Structure 1
Amino acid sequence: MIYRSLTDINIYDSPMLDRLATQMAKGRYLQVLEAEPNFLKIQLLEDDYEGLLDRQDFQKLESSDHQSFIDNLPPALSAAEIGDRLPQVIAFIQQAMATPNEYLWGGTVAPNYDCSGLMQAAFASVGILIPRDAYQQEAFGEPVSLDELQIGDLIFFGTPAKATHVGIYIGDRAYIHSSGKDHGHNGIAISEISGSDQVSQWYASQLRVAARITKSYKNESSG
C-alpha cells in the first residue's frame, strides 16, 4: 500500500524506535513493505530510503496510489536548468542557517538538519530530488576536481572508503554545512576548505571529492 504524509513524520532505524534514521516531510509518499506489532517497515518513494514507522504515526498518513506519486513528482530538468536553480538552493540553506538550529542526526526538516538531510531538503525545495545520505549523494553526482569547483557543487568528506559528510560550495574556498557537536558547529555554518579554524581543519583532514548535481533522482518519467 502507498500512503502520503499529512505532516512531518520521524522514520527510525531501530525496532525500539529510539534512533532517528530520517524524516518524512509533509506531502512525501511511502509504501509499506512489512508490518510488525509496533512498527511498519517502509520505503520512502522519492529516494527509495527504507526505515521504520511507529504504528502510532500511521494516523498521520492518508491512502494514496503509485499514479498519484508519479503525478506529483517534479518535472524533469536539464543540467542547465538545474544549474539555474542552484542560487535558490543556496538561498534555502542560508535562510536555514539564519534560523536558530542544531545538528540533528537524521534531520531533513526545519529547523534541525544533518549534513545530507540539509542538502536533500534544499534541492527538493526547488524541485530537484537527490538521494538521502552523503555517500549516496556523492555517487549520484558528476565528479569534479577541487580545481574545477563551481558554486553549488557538493563537497564530500569522510574516510578513504566512504563519504560521511557533505557541504555545498559557495565560492572563495568556502562551503556551508550542518555539522555535529564534537568537531563541528552543532548546526549550520560556513567553513573553509583551507581554513585555519578547528572545524575547517577537522574536515579538511577528511576531504574526499566534489560532485555536481546534473540530474534529478526521479522525475515524471519514472515508473
Structure 2
Amino acid sequence: MISIPQLQSSLQAGQFLEYQCQANLNLYDSSLLQGLVTQAVAGRQLRVLPLPVENEGKLQGMAVQVRLCEDDYPGWLALEDLDLLEVAEIAYQPLALTAAEICDRIPQVIAFAHAAMNQPNHYLWGGTVGPNYDCSGLMQTAFAAAGIWLPRDSYQQEAFTQPLSLDALQPGDLVFFGPPERANHVGLHLGDRYYIHSSGRDRGRNGIGIDVLSEEGDEISRAYYKLFRGVGRVTQCYQPRIP
C-alpha cells in the first residue's frame, strides 16, 4: 500500500519508482477523472510522474499522472487508488521475442479473442481488462495474454506493425480502418479475410463480433470495408522507453 506522504517523499528525493497494481485500475484522460482512457490489469507496473503541489506541499486535485511501464501509455490515477499500488520488487523487463516466436503464439491470441467474444460484453472506450473492450484494447490484451505487448491505440499499433499486402494476409495479422489521416479502428484477422473486433453502436454493434473484409459482406462489414486502410503483422514486442 502506497500512501501520499510516501509517494511525495520518494518523488522529492528523485526516486521515480515502479509500482505494481494490486487490482484492476482505471486510468483517465485528465485529473478531473471523467473520461476513461485505458485500464491496467492487476500485475501491471507503472511510474508516477512528477506531482503538482500547492504552496503548503499538498497534492492538487483528485489524481496523480502516471505512465504504464509495458506500453508507455499515460493517464491519470485517482488518489484513492494509490492504496492499490505496491512498490515493484523488480523493474519491468519486456520479452525480446523473435518474429518466429510471435508467430508460434498467434493461436493463443486468436483463442483469447474468441473467448472474449463468447462472454457477455459491450464496447467500452478505454476498456482493456474485460469483459468490455474498445477495439485496440481487445487487440492489446489478446496479444498480452500470449506474452506479446503492443502499443495501446490503433494508430500506434498500425505504426508498430509490419505493413503487408492483402495477398500476404495471415491469421493473427491486424486489420486497420479509419480516415486518411490515421487509423482509428483495428481488428484481428482470423483467416479468409474474416476478422474479430470490438465495435460500438455507431456501426450497428455494441461489442465483439466477426466481420469480413469485403464489400460483399453484411451492412456492418461493408461500413468498415469503406474505411479499410491496410493490414500489418506483429513481428516484435513493444520495448518501453528508458525512463
TM superposition score normalised by structure 1: 0.93
Q: Give the 5 Å matches for 1:1-223.
A: 1-35=17-51, 36-64=60-88, 68-70=90-92, 73-194=93-214, 195-218=216-239
Kept in 1: contact 2:95–2:237 (CA 8 A): no
Q: Distance in 2 between matches of 1:34 and 1:53?
A: 13
1:89 partner amino acid: V
Q: Distance in 1 between matches of 2:168 and 2:229?
A: 14
Q: Distance in 2 between matches of 1:14 and 1:169?
A: 34
- SS state at 1:82 partner: helix
Unpaired runs of at least 5, structure 2:
1-16, 52-59
Q: Deviations over 1:125-149 (max 9, x none)?
A: 0110110000000000000011210
Task: Please say which of residues 13-22 and 95-104 is displaced more in the overlay.
Answer: 13-22
Q: Distance in 2 between matches of 1:162 and 1:150?
A: 23
Q: Distance in 2 between matches of 1:184 and 1:123?
A: 26
Quote how far apart the aligned CAs of 1:161 are. 0.8
Q: Distance in 2 between matches of 1:206 and 1:111?
A: 26
Q: Distance in 2 between matches of 1:49 and 1:75?
A: 18
Unpaired runs of at least 5, structure 1:
none
Number of residue equivalences: 217
Q: Which runs of 4+ in 1 moved over 3 A?
A: none
Kept in 1: contact 2:123–2:199 (CA 8 A): yes
Cα RMSD of the aligned pairs, angstroms, is: 1.5
| Structure that is richer in strand per residue | 1
TM superposition score normalised by structure 2: 0.86
Q: Distance in 1 between matches of 2:204 and 2:150?
A: 24
Quote how far apart the aligned CAs of 1:16 are. 1.7
Kept in 1: contact 2:31–2:61 (CA 8 A): no
Flag the structure with larger Rg: 2
Q: Distance in 2 between matches of 1:176 and 1:10?
A: 25
Q: Distance in 1 between matches of 2:76 and 2:199?
A: 25
Quote how far apart the aligned CAs of 1:157 are. 0.2
